Amino acid sequence: MSGAELRGFLTSRRAALAPEDVGLPSPSTARRVPGLRREEVASLAGVSVHYYVKLEQGRAGNVSGQVVAAIARALRLDDVESRYLRTLLQQPGSPAVPAPPRARAALRSMIDALDVPAIIHGPHLAVLGINHAGKALLADFDTMPVAERNTARWMFLAPRARVVYRDWARIAADVVAVLRAGPADDSLARLVGNLCTRSPEFAAMWAEHRVAEHQHGVKRFFHEAVGDLTLNWQTLHLPDGQGQSVIVYSADTGSPSEEKLRLLASWTATPAPATS
């Protein structure tokens, strides 16, 4: 269990709630710090204040599933946050991880056959593959050093990302939340440490302790050749894929963005080899 991470996460969730949010009376006097007090969380969860303090400090061993569920309900955690809390309480430490996985050749061929942007992610948002339309929309990760092929790293350290994403601040915050929800290991610690020292914005967002999963949604992009695009995105998690997923971007049928995306893909497509 990472005591500092557990403490930071629970403290941030307490600070995000006011007493009236959980059915408690509003305080009669102003509080020095925002959010719920530890004794209020303990009361809502049905545990002693002493036990909750130990738990928040990472000193409570063998935490039962019932207690975890009660704490999650008291802090109004969603499904992703609840799973993350269970992970923090069950982790014995920060294990080393094997070499980064590689995308299967067939998977690379599959995204290369698509006319819409697609990207293969590994653990910690490592970019394991990107097709020609994805390179045109985002960046050519294949030309970067392997250690730099990472969406979070690109988002905060590459000036190009702030041009591509119309809503950069919101998307960047979501990237940080997705990164935190991943496996906590040595490679994550190195990535986070590097980004915290090089990007004050990343450090501030990391300190918020948000967690989220990459699922689906809508994002606004900009490309100098075609202008603004509004694209849908969908994450496909691969079974037995060592934490790999594929994100595919598409536009609504008949929309201006669909035509712009088609133009962008056609300009960047690799010509088919001539046949004899």
pLDDT of residue 276: 41
Mean pLDDT estimate for the chain:
86
180-210 pLDDT tens trace: 988 878 888 889 999 999 999 999 999 999 9
pLDDT of residue 92: 47
CB atoms within 10 A of CB 153: 24
**pTM: predicted TM-score of the whole model, two decimal places:** 0.79
Mean pLDDT of 254-272: 81
**Of 56-70, 101-115, 128-142, minimum mean pLDDT range:** 56-70
Mean pLDDT of 167-174: 96
Closest CA to 119 of 96, 149, 148, 147: 149
The answer to whether residue 270 scores a pLDDT higher than 80 is no
Take residue 228 and report the two structure tokens written for it: 């603004």
DSSP for 186-253, please give it. HHHHHHHHHHHHH-HHHHHHHTTT------EEEEEEEETTTEEEEEEEEEEEPTTSTT-EEEEEE--T
Identify the band that residue 274 occupies on the pLDDT scale cut at 50, 70 and 90.
very low
CB atoms within 10 A of CB 147: 12
Mean pLDDT of 132-145: 93
Sequence ranges of the domains in the chain: 3-90, 105-268
Closest CA to 140 of 119, 169, 114, 125: 119
The answer to whether residue 98 scores a pLDDT higher than 80 is no
**What is the fold, at CATH topology level, of the domain defined by 105-268?**
Beta-Lactamase (3.30.450)
Look at 81 and 270; give whichever has higher pLDDT.
81
224-249 pLDDT tens trace: 999 999 999 999 988 876 788 999 99
Dist CA 55 CA 63 (whole Å): 8
| Superfamily name and number for 3-90 | lambda repressor-like DNA-binding domains (1.10.260.40)
pLDDT of residue 114: 92
143-168 pLDDT tens trace: 999 889 999 999 999 999 999 999 99
pLDDT of residue 99: 57
